[in-house]
A and B are shown apart, each in its own frame.
Chain A
Protein backbone atom coordinates (compact mmCIF):
# COMPACT_ATOMS: atom_id res chain seq x y z
CA UNK A 1 0.00 0.00 0.00
CA UNK A 2 1.49 3.30 -1.10
CA UNK A 3 0.49 6.92 -1.17
CA UNK A 4 0.52 8.09 -4.75
CA UNK A 5 4.02 9.33 -5.42
CA UNK A 6 3.24 12.67 -6.96
CA UNK A 7 0.92 13.85 -4.21
CA UNK A 8 2.03 16.97 -2.34
CA UNK A 9 1.54 17.05 1.43
CA UNK A 10 2.20 20.17 3.48
CA UNK A 11 2.98 20.21 7.20
CA UNK A 12 -0.13 22.25 7.82
CA UNK A 13 -2.45 19.49 6.65
CA UNK A 14 -2.99 20.38 3.04
CA UNK A 15 -2.90 17.79 0.25
CA UNK A 16 -2.81 18.42 -3.47
CA UNK A 17 -3.31 15.71 -6.06
CA UNK A 18 -1.91 17.00 -9.38
CA UNK A 19 -3.39 14.13 -11.37
CA UNK A 20 -6.97 15.13 -10.53
CA UNK A 21 -6.44 18.75 -9.52
CA UNK A 22 -8.28 18.07 -6.23
CA UNK A 23 -7.11 19.41 -2.92
CA UNK A 24 -7.86 18.16 0.57
CA UNK A 25 -7.49 19.31 4.12
CA UNK A 26 -6.43 17.11 7.02
CA UNK A 27 -6.55 17.38 10.77
CA UNK A 28 -3.34 16.84 12.80
CA UNK A 29 -3.72 13.06 13.28
CA UNK A 30 -4.67 12.69 9.62
CA UNK A 31 -1.60 14.69 8.60
CA UNK A 32 0.72 12.53 10.67
CA UNK A 33 -0.68 9.31 9.33
CA UNK A 34 -0.46 10.39 5.72
CA UNK A 35 3.12 11.55 6.21
CA UNK A 36 4.05 8.24 7.79
CA UNK A 37 2.39 6.41 4.93
CA UNK A 38 4.43 8.45 2.51
CA UNK A 39 7.57 7.36 4.36
CA UNK A 40 6.46 3.76 3.59
CA UNK A 41 5.71 2.91 7.20
CA UNK A 42 3.52 -0.10 7.87
CA UNK A 43 0.19 0.22 9.66
CA UNK A 44 1.70 -1.39 12.76
CA UNK A 45 4.53 1.14 12.82
CA UNK A 46 2.09 3.98 12.38
CA UNK A 47 -0.01 2.69 15.25
CA UNK A 48 2.98 2.55 17.60
CA UNK A 49 4.00 6.04 16.64
CA UNK A 50 0.54 7.57 17.15
CA UNK A 51 -0.18 5.76 20.41
CA UNK A 52 3.12 7.03 21.84
CA UNK A 53 2.15 10.59 21.05
CA UNK A 54 -1.62 10.79 21.52
CA UNK A 55 -4.12 9.96 24.21
CA UNK A 56 -5.73 6.98 22.46
CA UNK A 57 -5.95 3.23 22.90
CA UNK A 58 -4.91 0.65 20.29
CA UNK A 59 -8.39 -0.61 19.54
CA UNK A 60 -9.84 2.82 18.88
CA UNK A 61 -6.84 3.81 16.77
CA UNK A 62 -6.89 0.66 14.69
CA UNK A 63 -10.56 1.18 13.84
CA UNK A 64 -9.89 4.77 12.90
CA UNK A 65 -6.85 3.99 10.75
CA UNK A 66 -8.68 1.32 8.77
CA UNK A 67 -11.50 3.75 8.18
CA UNK A 68 -9.09 6.54 7.23
CA UNK A 69 -7.29 4.38 4.69
CA UNK A 70 -10.62 3.44 3.15
CA UNK A 71 -11.33 7.10 2.66
CA UNK A 72 -7.92 7.65 1.08
CA UNK A 73 -8.70 4.82 -1.32
CA UNK A 74 -12.04 6.38 -2.16
CA UNK A 75 -10.25 9.59 -3.03
CA UNK A 76 -7.71 7.64 -5.12
CA UNK A 77 -4.82 8.85 -3.03
CA UNK A 78 -3.58 5.33 -2.35
CA UNK A 79 -2.29 2.70 -4.72
CA UNK A 80 -3.17 -0.66 -3.37
CA UNK A 81 -0.83 -3.05 -5.08
CA UNK A 82 -1.42 -6.10 -2.97
Chain B
Protein backbone atom coordinates (compact mmCIF):
# COMPACT_ATOMS: atom_id res chain seq x y z
CA UNK B 1 0.00 0.00 0.00
CA UNK B 2 1.28 3.40 -0.92
CA UNK B 3 1.85 5.61 2.08
CA UNK B 4 0.03 8.88 2.59
CA UNK B 5 1.76 12.24 2.32
CA UNK B 6 2.81 13.28 5.78
CA UNK B 7 2.36 16.70 7.23
CA UNK B 8 3.20 17.48 10.84
CA UNK B 9 0.23 17.24 13.26
CA UNK B 10 -1.53 20.55 13.70
CA UNK B 11 -4.14 21.81 16.12
CA UNK B 12 -5.51 25.31 15.84
CA UNK B 13 -7.87 27.12 18.14
CA UNK B 14 -10.86 28.47 16.27
CA UNK B 15 -11.44 32.10 17.05
CA UNK B 16 -14.65 33.50 15.66
CA UNK B 17 -15.08 37.07 14.59
CA UNK B 18 -11.51 38.02 15.47
CA UNK B 19 -9.37 39.45 12.69
CA UNK B 20 -6.20 37.43 12.42
CA UNK B 21 -3.06 39.52 12.30
CA UNK B 22 -1.37 36.72 10.40
CA UNK B 23 -3.84 37.32 7.61
CA UNK B 24 -5.40 34.95 5.16
CA UNK B 25 -3.53 32.11 3.60
CA UNK B 26 -1.36 33.66 0.92
CA UNK B 27 -0.32 30.84 -1.38
CA UNK B 28 -2.35 28.09 -2.96
CA UNK B 29 -0.12 26.15 -5.32
CA UNK B 30 3.48 25.02 -4.89
CA UNK B 31 6.13 26.39 -7.25
CA UNK B 32 7.91 23.17 -8.19
CA UNK B 33 9.42 24.45 -11.45
CA UNK B 34 10.79 27.68 -12.83
CA UNK B 35 10.40 27.75 -16.59
CA UNK B 36 10.08 23.96 -16.68
CA UNK B 37 13.23 23.43 -14.61
CA UNK B 38 12.72 21.62 -11.34
CA UNK B 39 13.43 23.71 -8.24
CA UNK B 40 14.78 20.64 -6.42
CA UNK B 41 17.16 19.85 -9.27
CA UNK B 42 18.39 23.43 -9.41
CA UNK B 43 19.12 23.33 -5.68
CA UNK B 44 20.82 19.94 -5.91
CA UNK B 45 23.03 21.08 -8.75
CA UNK B 46 23.87 24.65 -7.71
CA UNK B 47 23.44 24.53 -3.93
CA UNK B 48 21.01 26.15 -1.54
CA UNK B 49 20.19 29.00 -1.34
CA UNK B 50 20.23 30.00 -4.99
CA UNK B 51 19.28 33.08 -6.98
CA UNK B 52 17.60 32.31 -10.30
CA UNK B 53 17.16 34.95 -13.00
CA UNK B 54 14.86 34.54 -15.98
CA UNK B 55 16.17 36.16 -19.15
CA UNK B 56 12.80 35.58 -20.75
CA UNK B 57 10.96 37.56 -18.08
CA UNK B 58 13.46 40.42 -18.23
CA UNK B 59 12.90 40.79 -21.94
CA UNK B 60 9.15 40.33 -21.73
CA UNK B 61 8.63 42.96 -19.02
CA UNK B 62 10.97 45.35 -20.80
CA UNK B 63 9.03 45.04 -24.03
CA UNK B 64 5.76 45.65 -22.19
CA UNK B 65 7.12 48.82 -20.61
CA UNK B 66 8.64 50.04 -23.85
CA UNK B 67 5.42 49.47 -25.76
CA UNK B 68 3.40 51.32 -23.11
CA UNK B 69 5.49 54.45 -23.68
CA UNK B 70 6.27 54.19 -27.37
CA UNK B 71 2.62 53.90 -28.30
CA UNK B 72 1.93 57.18 -26.49
CA UNK B 73 4.99 59.36 -27.00
CA UNK B 74 7.13 59.82 -30.13
CA UNK B 75 10.66 59.48 -28.70
CA UNK B 76 11.41 57.19 -25.77
CA UNK B 77 14.71 55.93 -24.38
CA UNK B 78 15.19 53.62 -21.40
CA UNK B 79 18.42 53.72 -19.37
CA UNK B 80 19.06 50.72 -17.13
CA UNK B 81 19.45 51.80 -13.52
CA UNK B 82 22.66 49.96 -12.59
CA UNK B 83 22.19 50.13 -8.84
CA UNK B 84 18.98 48.10 -9.11
CA UNK B 85 20.90 45.11 -10.42
CA UNK B 86 24.36 45.51 -11.90
CA UNK B 87 25.22 41.91 -12.63
CA UNK B 88 26.85 42.15 -16.05
CA UNK B 89 24.60 39.44 -17.44
CA UNK B 90 21.51 41.38 -16.40
CA UNK B 91 22.81 44.72 -17.68
CA UNK B 92 23.68 43.21 -21.03
CA UNK B 93 20.19 41.82 -21.53
CA UNK B 94 18.88 45.37 -21.08
CA UNK B 95 21.58 46.80 -23.35
CA UNK B 96 20.68 44.25 -26.03
CA UNK B 97 17.08 45.42 -25.71
CA UNK B 98 18.28 48.94 -26.43
CA UNK B 99 18.67 50.39 -22.94
CA UNK B 100 21.35 52.91 -22.15
CA UNK B 101 23.05 52.86 -18.74
CA UNK B 102 22.17 55.02 -15.74
CA UNK B 103 24.96 55.07 -13.15
CA UNK B 104 25.58 56.83 -9.84
CA UNK B 105 29.25 56.20 -9.06
CA UNK B 106 32.62 55.76 -10.70
CA UNK B 107 32.35 52.04 -9.98
CA UNK B 108 29.05 51.78 -11.85
CA UNK B 109 30.34 54.03 -14.63
CA UNK B 110 33.31 51.74 -15.24
CA UNK B 111 31.02 48.72 -15.15
CA UNK B 112 28.89 50.24 -17.92
CA UNK B 113 31.98 50.97 -20.03
CA UNK B 114 33.13 47.41 -19.34
CA UNK B 115 29.80 46.17 -20.64
CA UNK B 116 30.54 47.92 -23.92
CA UNK B 117 28.09 50.77 -23.50
CA UNK B 118 29.07 53.83 -25.58
CA UNK B 119 30.09 56.80 -23.47
CA UNK B 120 27.33 58.84 -25.09
CA UNK B 121 24.77 56.29 -23.91
CA UNK B 122 25.60 56.70 -20.23
CA UNK B 123 23.71 58.97 -17.85
CA UNK B 124 25.81 59.86 -14.83
CA UNK B 125 23.63 60.70 -11.81
CA UNK B 126 24.17 61.18 -8.12
CA UNK B 127 26.20 63.24 -5.68
CA UNK B 128 29.22 60.89 -5.81
CA UNK B 129 31.33 61.95 -8.80
CA UNK B 130 35.04 62.54 -8.24
CA UNK B 131 37.06 64.88 -10.46
CA UNK B 132 38.53 61.80 -12.12
CA UNK B 133 35.02 60.44 -12.76
CA UNK B 134 33.86 63.74 -14.20
CA UNK B 135 36.92 64.06 -16.43
CA UNK B 136 36.32 60.58 -17.80
CA UNK B 137 32.64 61.27 -18.36
CA UNK B 138 33.34 64.56 -20.16
CA UNK B 139 35.94 62.95 -22.42
CA UNK B 140 33.58 60.05 -23.24
CA UNK B 141 30.72 62.40 -24.09
CA UNK B 142 28.51 60.98 -21.33
CA UNK B 143 25.54 62.91 -19.97
CA UNK B 144 26.34 64.39 -16.60
CA UNK B 145 23.33 65.10 -14.40
CA UNK B 146 24.50 67.75 -11.96
CA UNK B 147 23.40 67.38 -8.35
CA UNK B 148 24.63 70.61 -6.72
CA UNK B 149 26.46 73.91 -7.27
CA UNK B 150 29.79 72.53 -6.04
CA UNK B 151 29.63 69.94 -8.79
CA UNK B 152 28.78 72.62 -11.37
CA UNK B 153 31.81 74.71 -10.32
CA UNK B 154 34.04 71.64 -10.43
CA UNK B 155 32.90 70.96 -13.99
CA UNK B 156 33.55 74.58 -15.00
CA UNK B 157 37.06 74.27 -13.59
CA UNK B 158 37.71 70.91 -15.32
CA UNK B 159 36.47 72.19 -18.67
CA UNK B 160 39.21 74.82 -18.68
CA UNK B 161 41.74 72.02 -18.32
CA UNK B 162 40.17 69.42 -20.64
CA UNK B 163 39.02 71.80 -23.38
CA UNK B 164 36.01 69.65 -24.24
CA UNK B 165 32.41 70.70 -24.04
CA UNK B 166 30.56 68.65 -21.43
CA UNK B 167 26.98 67.52 -22.05
CA UNK B 168 25.02 68.53 -19.00
CA UNK B 169 21.63 68.20 -17.41
CA UNK B 170 20.56 69.15 -13.92
CA UNK B 171 18.63 67.03 -11.50
CA UNK B 172 15.55 68.90 -10.35
CA UNK B 173 13.65 68.15 -7.14
CA UNK B 174 10.14 69.41 -6.62
CA UNK B 175 6.83 69.11 -4.88
CA UNK B 176 4.75 66.57 -6.79
CA UNK B 177 2.13 66.16 -4.11
CA UNK B 178 3.68 63.06 -2.60
CA UNK B 179 5.21 62.58 0.79
CA UNK B 180 8.06 62.46 1.58
CA UNK B 181 9.32 65.00 -0.93
CA UNK B 182 12.85 64.08 -1.91
CA UNK B 183 14.78 67.35 -1.71
CA UNK B 184 18.29 66.17 -0.95
CA UNK B 185 19.21 65.44 -4.56
CA UNK B 186 19.42 68.10 -7.23
CA UNK B 187 18.21 71.68 -7.41
CA UNK B 188 14.81 72.74 -6.14
CA UNK B 189 12.15 73.82 -8.61
CA UNK B 190 9.84 75.83 -6.39
CA UNK B 191 12.45 78.07 -4.78
CA UNK B 192 14.04 79.01 -8.10
CA UNK B 193 17.33 77.21 -7.52
CA UNK B 194 16.88 74.98 -10.57
CA UNK B 195 16.22 77.97 -12.82
CA UNK B 196 19.30 79.71 -11.40
CA UNK B 197 21.52 76.69 -12.13
CA UNK B 198 20.12 76.44 -15.66
CA UNK B 199 20.90 80.11 -16.29
CA UNK B 200 24.47 79.65 -15.15
CA UNK B 201 24.95 76.71 -17.50
CA UNK B 202 23.24 78.35 -20.46
CA UNK B 203 25.20 81.59 -20.10
CA UNK B 204 28.52 79.75 -20.12
CA UNK B 205 29.66 79.09 -23.69
CA UNK B 206 31.95 76.28 -22.62
CA UNK B 207 29.02 74.20 -21.35
CA UNK B 208 26.18 72.52 -23.21
CA UNK B 209 22.80 71.95 -21.62
CA UNK B 210 21.19 68.87 -23.15
CA UNK B 211 18.46 67.79 -20.74
CA UNK B 212 16.49 67.99 -17.54
CA UNK B 213 16.36 65.20 -15.01
CA UNK B 214 14.33 64.29 -11.97
CA UNK B 215 13.73 61.17 -9.89
CA UNK B 216 10.86 61.93 -7.58
CA UNK B 217 11.21 58.88 -5.35
CA UNK B 218 10.84 55.15 -5.44
CA UNK B 219 7.79 52.88 -5.30
CA UNK B 220 5.52 55.79 -6.29
CA UNK B 221 1.95 54.53 -6.44
CA UNK B 222 0.45 57.77 -7.75
CA UNK B 223 0.63 58.36 -11.49
CA UNK B 224 -0.43 61.97 -10.83
CA UNK B 225 2.94 62.66 -9.25
CA UNK B 226 4.60 61.82 -12.57
CA UNK B 227 2.21 64.09 -14.42
CA UNK B 228 3.19 66.95 -12.09
CA UNK B 229 6.91 66.20 -12.52
CA UNK B 230 6.63 66.01 -16.31
CA UNK B 231 4.70 69.30 -16.42
CA UNK B 232 7.23 71.09 -14.26
CA UNK B 233 10.19 69.90 -16.34
CA UNK B 234 8.30 70.82 -19.54
CA UNK B 235 7.68 74.26 -18.09
CA UNK B 236 11.43 74.70 -17.46
CA UNK B 237 12.15 73.56 -21.02
CA UNK B 238 9.73 76.15 -22.37
CA UNK B 239 11.35 78.90 -20.30
CA UNK B 240 14.76 77.85 -21.64
CA UNK B 241 13.41 78.05 -25.18
CA UNK B 242 11.86 81.49 -24.59
CA UNK B 243 14.90 83.03 -22.98
CA UNK B 244 17.80 81.30 -24.74
CA UNK B 245 16.12 80.04 -27.94
CA UNK B 246 17.44 76.59 -27.12
CA UNK B 247 15.61 73.28 -27.48
CA UNK B 248 16.73 70.73 -24.91
CA UNK B 249 17.23 67.19 -26.18
CA UNK B 250 15.62 65.20 -23.42
CA UNK B 251 13.46 65.11 -20.33
CA UNK B 252 14.45 62.31 -17.97
CA UNK B 253 11.83 61.33 -15.41
CA UNK B 254 14.05 58.89 -13.53
CA UNK B 255 12.71 55.68 -12.02
CA UNK B 256 10.30 54.99 -9.20
CA UNK B 257 7.46 52.95 -10.69
CA UNK B 258 6.18 50.50 -8.08
CA UNK B 259 6.75 46.78 -8.54
CA UNK B 260 4.13 44.23 -7.58
CA UNK B 261 5.71 43.45 -4.22
CA UNK B 262 3.51 44.36 -1.28
CA UNK B 263 4.96 46.94 1.10
CA UNK B 264 5.05 46.06 4.79
CA UNK B 265 1.88 47.13 6.53
CA UNK B 266 -0.05 47.59 3.26
CA UNK B 267 -3.66 46.57 3.63
CA UNK B 268 -4.12 45.20 0.13
CA UNK B 269 -1.73 43.12 -1.99
CA UNK B 270 0.28 45.27 -4.41
CA UNK B 271 -0.92 43.24 -7.37
CA UNK B 272 -4.34 44.85 -6.78
CA UNK B 273 -3.16 48.39 -6.16
CA UNK B 274 -0.04 49.18 -8.19
CA UNK B 275 -0.49 51.10 -11.48
CA UNK B 276 0.44 49.36 -14.72
CA UNK B 277 3.10 50.65 -17.15
CA UNK B 278 0.21 51.82 -19.32
CA UNK B 279 -1.16 53.97 -16.53
CA UNK B 280 2.21 55.58 -15.76
CA UNK B 281 2.83 56.09 -19.49
CA UNK B 282 -0.57 57.66 -19.97
CA UNK B 283 -0.03 60.20 -17.19
CA UNK B 284 3.47 61.15 -18.35
CA UNK B 285 2.78 61.31 -22.09
CA UNK B 286 -0.38 63.26 -21.53
CA UNK B 287 1.44 65.84 -19.40
CA UNK B 288 4.20 66.28 -21.99
CA UNK B 289 1.96 66.31 -25.05
CA UNK B 290 -0.42 68.87 -23.56
CA UNK B 291 2.40 71.14 -22.32
CA UNK B 292 3.61 74.25 -24.16
CA UNK B 293 6.53 72.32 -25.69
CA UNK B 294 6.75 72.91 -29.47
CA UNK B 295 5.45 69.82 -31.31
CA UNK B 296 8.32 69.89 -33.84
CA UNK B 297 10.93 69.93 -31.03
CA UNK B 298 9.57 67.42 -28.53
CA UNK B 299 12.40 66.23 -26.28
CA UNK B 300 13.17 62.53 -25.97
CA UNK B 301 11.55 61.01 -22.89
CA UNK B 302 14.13 59.11 -20.88
CA UNK B 303 13.13 56.60 -18.19
CA UNK B 304 15.45 55.07 -15.60
CA UNK B 305 12.96 52.48 -14.40
CA UNK B 306 14.57 49.97 -12.03
CA UNK B 307 12.49 47.82 -9.70
CA UNK B 308 9.37 47.69 -11.86
CA UNK B 309 11.41 46.20 -14.72
CA UNK B 310 13.51 43.62 -12.88
CA UNK B 311 11.65 42.57 -9.74
CA UNK B 312 9.55 39.87 -11.42
CA UNK B 313 12.53 38.37 -13.23
CA UNK B 314 14.32 36.78 -10.30
CA UNK B 315 13.69 34.17 -7.61
CA UNK B 316 15.46 33.16 -4.45
CA UNK B 317 15.27 29.43 -3.76
CA UNK B 318 16.13 27.91 -0.43
CA UNK B 319 15.71 25.21 2.17
CA UNK B 320 14.03 24.93 5.56
CA UNK B 321 16.66 24.53 8.30
CA UNK B 322 14.44 23.96 11.31
CA UNK B 323 10.94 24.33 12.65
CA UNK B 324 10.51 25.32 16.24
CA UNK B 325 8.07 26.77 18.67
CA UNK B 326 8.55 30.15 20.32
CA UNK B 327 7.93 30.72 24.01
CA UNK B 328 4.54 32.28 23.28
CA UNK B 329 3.44 29.20 21.35
CA UNK B 330 3.88 30.66 17.88
CA UNK B 331 5.52 28.56 15.21
CA UNK B 332 8.83 29.65 13.81
CA UNK B 333 10.54 28.45 10.68
CA UNK B 334 14.24 28.98 10.10
CA UNK B 335 15.32 29.11 6.47
CA UNK B 336 18.72 29.44 4.83
CA UNK B 337 17.82 32.81 3.28
CA UNK B 338 18.44 35.77 5.55
CA UNK B 339 18.26 39.54 5.22
CA UNK B 340 21.87 39.36 4.05
CA UNK B 341 20.55 37.87 0.79
CA UNK B 342 17.07 39.37 0.86
CA UNK B 343 17.66 42.96 1.83
CA UNK B 344 14.23 43.91 0.55
CA UNK B 345 12.64 41.90 3.37
CA UNK B 346 13.07 45.14 5.33
CA UNK B 347 10.46 46.82 3.07
CA UNK B 348 8.36 44.10 1.52
CA UNK B 349 6.13 41.27 2.63
CA UNK B 350 7.69 38.85 0.20
CA UNK B 351 5.65 35.98 -1.12
CA UNK B 352 7.15 32.66 -0.09
CA UNK B 353 5.84 29.52 -1.74
CA UNK B 354 6.67 25.89 -0.91
CA UNK B 355 8.33 23.98 -3.74
CA UNK B 356 6.55 20.70 -2.92
CA UNK B 357 2.85 19.89 -2.61
CA UNK B 358 1.15 20.96 0.62
CA UNK B 359 -2.31 20.70 2.09
CA UNK B 360 -4.76 23.44 2.92
CA UNK B 361 -3.69 23.38 6.59
CA UNK B 362 -1.68 26.37 7.70
CA UNK B 363 -0.21 27.73 10.87
CA UNK B 364 0.60 31.23 12.07
CA UNK B 365 4.32 31.35 11.45
CA UNK B 366 7.30 33.64 11.88
CA UNK B 367 9.98 33.09 9.25
CA UNK B 368 13.56 33.73 10.35
CA UNK B 369 16.75 33.76 8.34
CA UNK B 370 19.81 31.78 9.47
CA UNK B 371 21.85 34.69 10.83
CA UNK B 372 22.47 34.71 14.53
CA UNK B 373 21.08 38.23 14.74
CA UNK B 374 17.75 39.51 15.94
CA UNK B 375 17.20 41.62 12.81
CA UNK B 376 17.10 38.54 10.61
CA UNK B 377 13.36 38.23 10.04
CA UNK B 378 11.99 37.40 6.61
CA UNK B 379 8.27 37.44 7.50
CA UNK B 380 6.95 38.57 10.87
CA UNK B 381 3.51 37.00 10.62
CA UNK B 382 2.44 34.72 7.86
CA UNK B 383 -0.23 32.10 7.63
CA UNK B 384 1.96 29.36 6.22
CA UNK B 385 1.69 25.70 5.18
CA UNK B 386 3.36 23.07 7.36
CA UNK B 387 6.87 22.58 6.06
CA UNK B 388 9.58 20.46 7.62
CA UNK B 389 13.36 20.51 7.72
CA UNK B 390 14.77 19.97 4.25
CA UNK B 391 11.70 21.21 2.39
CA UNK B 392 12.29 23.82 -0.29
CA UNK B 393 10.62 27.11 -1.07
CA UNK B 394 10.66 29.82 -3.68
CA UNK B 395 10.61 33.56 -2.99
CA UNK B 396 9.61 35.34 -6.17
CA UNK B 397 9.92 39.00 -7.25
CA UNK B 398 13.35 39.62 -5.81
CA UNK B 399 15.19 40.97 -8.87
CA UNK B 400 15.55 44.56 -7.69
CA UNK B 401 18.21 45.72 -5.23
CA UNK B 402 18.89 42.34 -3.59
CA UNK B 403 21.85 41.45 -5.81
CA UNK B 404 23.39 44.86 -5.18
CA UNK B 405 22.39 45.80 -1.64
CA UNK B 406 23.09 42.35 -0.26
CA UNK B 407 25.51 42.00 2.60
CA UNK B 408 28.54 39.82 2.93
CA UNK B 409 27.64 39.24 6.54
CA UNK B 410 28.19 36.10 8.64
CA UNK B 411 28.04 33.87 5.60
CA UNK B 412 29.01 33.81 1.93
CA UNK B 413 26.88 34.70 -1.05
CA UNK B 414 25.53 31.81 -3.10
CA UNK B 415 25.50 31.07 -6.83
CA UNK B 416 23.37 33.11 -9.18
CA UNK B 417 22.09 31.37 -12.29
CA UNK B 418 20.30 32.71 -15.33
CA UNK B 419 17.88 30.66 -17.42
CA UNK B 420 18.31 31.71 -21.03
CA UNK B 421 15.64 31.84 -23.73
CA UNK B 422 16.29 28.19 -24.66
CA UNK B 423 15.94 27.02 -21.09
CA UNK B 424 19.67 26.56 -20.60
CA UNK B 425 21.01 27.36 -17.14
CA UNK B 426 24.16 29.50 -16.80
CA UNK B 427 26.02 30.42 -13.65
CA UNK B 428 26.29 34.21 -13.91
CA UNK B 429 27.96 34.76 -10.54
CA UNK B 430 29.82 32.06 -8.73
CA UNK B 431 29.28 31.41 -5.07
CA UNK B 432 31.80 33.16 -2.90
CA UNK B 433 34.63 31.36 -1.18
CA UNK B 434 36.46 32.25 2.00
CA UNK B 435 39.41 33.31 -0.15
CA UNK B 436 37.27 35.86 -2.00
CA UNK B 437 36.74 37.58 1.31
CA UNK B 438 40.10 37.10 3.00
CA UNK B 439 42.34 37.74 -0.04
CA UNK B 440 42.05 41.47 0.39
CA UNK B 441 42.81 41.30 4.10
CA UNK B 442 46.32 41.89 5.41
CA UNK B 443 47.54 40.49 8.70
CA UNK B 444 50.20 42.63 10.43
CA UNK B 445 53.40 40.71 11.16
CA UNK B 446 53.05 40.77 14.95
CA UNK B 447 49.59 39.13 14.73
CA UNK B 448 50.67 36.24 12.57
CA UNK B 449 50.95 32.84 14.12
CA UNK B 450 54.58 31.79 14.34
CB contact between B11 and one of A54, A55, A60, A68 (< 8 Å): that residue:
A68
Query: Contact at A75–B9, with CB atoms within 8 Å?
Result: no
* Proximity string of chain A (25-65) to chain B, C-beta cutoff 8 Å, 1 when within and 0 when not: 11111101110000000000000001001111000110011
* Proximity string of chain B (357-396) to chain A, C-beta cutoff 8 Å, 1 when within and 0 when not: 0010100000000000000000000000010110000000
Q: A22 an interface residue at 8 Å Cβ cutoff? A: yes
Q: B13 an interface residue at 8 Å Cβ cutoff? A: yes
Kindly state the separation between the CA atoms of A71 and B386 in the bound complex, as whole angstroms. Answer: 15
Evaluate whether A55 and B3 lie within 8 angstroms (CB atoms) in the complex, with A27-B359, A74-B329 already known. Answer: yes
Query: Contact at A54–B4, with CB atoms within 8 Å?
Result: yes
User: Which residues on the B side are within 8 Å of A27 (C-beta)?
Assistant: 7, 9-10, 359, 361, 386
Most A CB atoms within 10 A — which of B7, B8, B325? B8
Count chain B residues whose beta carbon lies closer than 8 angstroms to a beta carbon of A: 19
Q: A8 an interface residue at 8 Å Cβ cutoff? A: no
Evaluate whether A71 and B329 lie within 8 angstroms (CB atoms) in the complex, with A29-B9, A54-B3, A55-B5 already known. Answer: yes
Evaluate whether A24 and B3 lie within 8 angstroms (CB atoms) in the complex, with A60-B389, A71-B329, A74-B329 already known. Answer: no
Query: Contact at B14–A60, with CB atoms within 8 Å?
Result: no
Query: Contact at A55–B4, with CB atoms within 8 Å?
Result: yes
Count chain A residues whose beta carbon lies closer than 8 angstroms to a beta carbon of B: 30
Kindly state the separation between the CA atoms of A55 and B2 in the bound complex, as whole angstroms. Answer: 9
Query: Contact at B11–A26, with CB atoms within 8 Å?
Result: yes
Determine the residue in chain B with the shortest Cβ distance to A70: B325
User: Which residues on the B side are within 8 Å of A29 (C-beta)?
Assistant: 6-10
User: Which residues on the A side are within 8 Å of B388 (C-beta)?
Assistant: 60, 64
* Proximity string of chain B (383-416) to chain A, C-beta cutoff 8 Å, 1 when within and 0 when not: 0001011000000000000000000000000000
How far, in Å, is B271 (CB) from chain A's closest CB?
Answer: 29
Kindly state the separation between the CA atoms of A81 and B7 in the bound complex, as whole angstroms. Answer: 29
User: Which residues on the A side are within 8 Å of B13 (C-beta)?
Assistant: 22-24, 75
Determine the residue in chain A with the shortest Cβ distance to B359: A27
Q: B12 an interface residue at 8 Å Cβ cutoff? A: yes
Evaluate whether A25 and B14 lie within 8 angstroms (CB atoms) in the complex, with A67-B325, A68-B9, A74-B329 already known. Answer: yes
User: Which residues on the B side are within 8 Å of A34 (C-beta)?
Assistant: 11
Determine the residue in chain B with the shortest Cβ distance to A26: B11
How far, in Å, is B332 (CB) from chain A's closest CB?
Answer: 12
User: Which residues on the B side are within 8 Å of A53 (C-beta)?
Assistant: 3-4
Kindly state the separation between the CA atoms of A30 and B12 in the bound complex, as whole angstroms. Answer: 10
* Proximity string of chain B (277-311) to chain A, C-beta cutoff 8 Å, 1 when within and 0 when not: 00000000000000000000000000000000000
How far, in Å, is A17 (CB) from chain B's closest CB?
Answer: 10
Query: Contact at B9–A30, with CB atoms within 8 Å?
Result: yes
User: Which residues on the A side are within 8 Å of B9 (C-beta)?
Assistant: 26-27, 29-30, 32-33, 64-65, 68
Complex A-B: 21 CB contacts under 8 Å:
A22-B13, A23-B13, A24-B12, A24-B13, A24-B14, A26-B10, A26-B12, A27-B9, A27-B359, A27-B361, A29-B7, A29-B10, A30-B9, A55-B6, A60-B6, A60-B389, A68-B10, A71-B325, A75-B11, A75-B13, A77-B11
Task: List 6 extra interface pairs beyond A27-B10, A29-B8, A54-B5, CB under 8 A.
Answer: A34-B11, A55-B3, A60-B389, A68-B8, A70-B325, A71-B329
Binding site for A on B (CB under 8 A): 3-14, 325, 329, 359, 361, 386, 388-389
Q: Lowest 10 CB-CB distances: which A-B pairs, in order?
A: A30-B9, A56-B6, A54-B6, A27-B361, A68-B9, A64-B8, A27-B10, A55-B3, A29-B9, A23-B14
